[in-house]
């Protein structure tokens, strides 16, 4: 399965290290400062667009409200989400791009 996860612009957060979202698939991948990582499905597309385009939204608040404590989202297991895609180093584009 192909995921088109977009990095949410970095914001100061004491809990969330990185947040990646896919509005088309309604999925989110969160990595906490503790090192734990989780993927969620059935995430509200409106909430995903809000966190992408509204820089005032707190990442920790967003993750708690729309992922952890939401009744509509489900935590995805290894059969539903490819966690291994984040084990490999990220690709760096040349400086001239």
What mean pLDDT is reported for the chain? 85
Check pLDDT > 90 for residue 2. Answer: no
pLDDT tens digit sequence for 21-51: 999 989 999 999 998 989 999 999 999 999 9
pLDDT value at position 88?
A: 54
**What span, in angstroms and rounded, lies between the C-alpha atoms of 49 and 47?**
5
Q: For the chain, give every domain's residue range.
A: 6-82
pTM of the model: 0.80
């Amino acid at each position: 399965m192909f995921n088109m996860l977009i990095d949410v612009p970095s914001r100061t957060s004491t809990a969330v290290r990185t947040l990646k979202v896919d509005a088309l698939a309604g999925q989110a991948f969160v990595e906490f400062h503790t090192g734990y990582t989780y993927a969620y499905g059935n995430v509200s597309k409106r909430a995903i667009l809000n966190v992408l385009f509204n820089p005032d939204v707190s990442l920790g608040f967003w993750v708690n409200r729309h992922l952890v404590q939401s009744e509509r989202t489900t935590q995805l297991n290894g059969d539903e989400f490819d966690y291994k895609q984040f084990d490999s180093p990220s690709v760096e584009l040349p400086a001239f791009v």
